[in-house]
Structure 1
Amino acid sequence: MTQADASGLRISGLRYEVAGRVLLDDLELSVRPGESTAITGPSGSGKSTLLMCVLGLIKPDAGRVTVAGREITGQRPARLARIRRDTLGMVFQFGELLPELTPVENVALPVLLDGGDHRTAYRRAARLLDDLGVPHGTTPTGALSGGERQRTAVARALITDPAVLLADEPTGALDPDTKDGVADLLFTAARRRDCALLVVTHDPAVAARADHRRRLDHGTLAGTGASA
């Protein structure tokens, strides 16, 4: 493993089979810090399963997932949870925010759940939201627009300074006028913060923003080119 691989995301020989169907077949992938890779493919091809393996929520039948030099696969639950908190950020399609909390409270939550200082967490959350152009204060997150909620979700994923940022259809629930802004924010944030970004998407316009594009089909990844 090279130093670049060790500080980003490295997937090696990953295999996962369910109900007699092979979703991931000896899969190989590497994403360096500051770079982005988009995974496309038909529904049911295993794209979200791949992200769940990286998160350690699905145990593969074979292979290794390494994030920032720390192996995800084969860890005990407590250590896996620690590695996940230390190294990974996740943006879901529907944000998965708590609508009754303010944006600042939502963004600060990962730090607070890990025992971080309340005031420090709130200050960092407010700075992130300012950087990403999200109004905050006392407004419940549920009262924000779809784009503002998804920007809040990006901020929450970034507050722990992850080595690897994962995104599962991050613009899939947004209208056409909003999705471009959120996609631009996501890819720009990854470059500026020097974290590896792995995006699963059905949207070719979103995939085109990535440094590298791969298509997952029949359990394997094929290169579809690199963005200019």
Structure 2
Amino acid sequence: MDRQDSSGLHVSDLYYEVAGRTLLDGVELSVARGESVAVTGPSGSGKSTLLMCVLGLIEPQAGTITAAGRDITGLGPARLAQARRETLSMVFQFGELLPELSPVENVALPVLLAGGRHQDAYRRAEELLGELGVPTGSVPTGTLSGGERQRTAVARALITEPAVLLADEPTGALDPQAKEAVATLLFTAARDRGCALLVVTHDVSVADRADRRHELRGGVLTAAGAL
């Protein structure tokens, strides 16, 4: 797979420090569409910071981030929000769903917020949830099992057909059985839908499902097993 494909995710010479501590020190990373990369490392090593930089929620002191051929570093709030809507999606550890809404309502929400038609958004949400094995009735999302809620979060991330899919400890809050099911779903869905998938996780068994695994230590990102 061509890791220089401009349609994926490219991080170049990324540098970020806070309170005199360097969290990202010249980080280089490319993920092609349809490819998955996992980043592991100890707590506080900067894994989540890397994701927040890609999302544009943290501005690095140096370096560039390109998603689907668009440079997202240094954009103003409005253009950044637009780029994020059009190219990026995120699966959080705890789903970050609205518990009082139904799964269909939660999944349709990103499309509706972007101005999409109600009927189209709900139809696509029901299709995605059906494919991912989540009930599509009017039951509140908060009453679903942990695995069902996280599959709902994956569906919500996929409904905008992102070029780049990010996941922050996506199985960290699940029991072993649900963890395996959600991890399989996440990697399969990203590959089948042509997303560039970047996962940060403490769980090596999850990370080993990725096409490539990297470790972040002392601000430096290296291929797993590299000296």
TM band (smaller chain): over 0.9
TM-score by length of 2: 0.97
Please show how residues 32-111 of structure 1 align to structure 2 within 5 Å: 32-111=32-111
1:4, CA displacement in angstroms? 4.1
Give the conservation status (yes or no) of the 8 Å contact 2:3–2:31.
no
Matched residues in 2 for 1:144 and 1:167: separation?
Answer: 21
Matched residues in 2 for 1:3 and 1:35: separation?
Answer: 9
Give CA deviations for 1:91-126 in whole Å, capped at 9, x if unaligned: 000000000000000000000001110000000000
Matched residues in 2 for 1:135 and 1:122: separation?
Answer: 14
Give the conservation status (yes or no) of the 8 Å contact 2:12–2:65.
yes
Matched residues in 1 for 2:212 and 2:225: separation?
Answer: 6
Q: Which amino acid aligns with 1:93?
A: Q
1:5, CA displacement in angstroms? 3.1
Give the conservation status (yes or no) of the 8 Å contact 2:8–2:68.
yes
Which segment is superposed worse, 148-157 or 130-139?
Answer: 130-139
Give the conservation status (yes or no) of the 8 Å contact 2:3–2:32.
no
Name the CA shift for 1:36/1:108 in 2 (closer, same or farther; >3 Å): same
Match of 2:112 in 1: 112
3-state secondary structure, aligned to 1:52:
helix
Match of 1:207 in 2: 207
Give the conservation status (yes or no) of the 8 Å contact 2:8–2:33.
yes
Matched residues in 2 for 1:4 and 1:116: separation?
Answer: 32
Give the conservation status (yes or no) of the 8 Å contact 1:212–1:225.
no
Matched residues in 2 for 1:204 and 1:152: separation?
Answer: 24
Matched residues in 2 for 1:59 and 1:224: separation?
Answer: 26
Name the CA shift for 1:9/1:216 in 2 (closer, same or farther; >3 Å): same
| 1:141 matched to 2:141 | yes
Q: How many residues of Structure 1 are paired with residues of Structure 2 in the alignment?
A: 225
Give CA deviations for 1:156-187 in whole Å, capped at 9, x if unaligned: 00000000000000000000111000000000
Give CA deviations for 1:69-103 in whole Å, capped at 9, x if unaligned: 00110001000000000000100000000000000
3-state secondary structure, aligned to 1:96:
coil
Give the conservation status (yes or no) of the 8 Å contact 1:55–1:88.
yes
Matched residues in 2 for 1:30 and 1:101: separation?
Answer: 36
Q: Which amino acid aligns with 1:119?
A: Q
| 1:30 matched to 2:27 | no
Kindly report the root-mean-square deviation, in angstroms, between the aligned alpha carbons of the 2 structures.
1.2
3-state secondary structure, aligned to 1:177:
helix
Give the conservation status (yes or no) of the 8 Å contact 2:4–2:32.
yes
Matched residues in 2 for 1:159 and 1:58: separation?
Answer: 25
Matched residues in 1 for 2:166 and 2:40: separation?
Answer: 14
Name the CA shift for 1:60/1:85 in 2 (closer, same or farther; >3 Å): same
1:225, CA displacement in angstroms? 5.5
1:68, CA displacement in angstroms? 0.2
Q: Which amino acid aligns with 2:148?
A: E
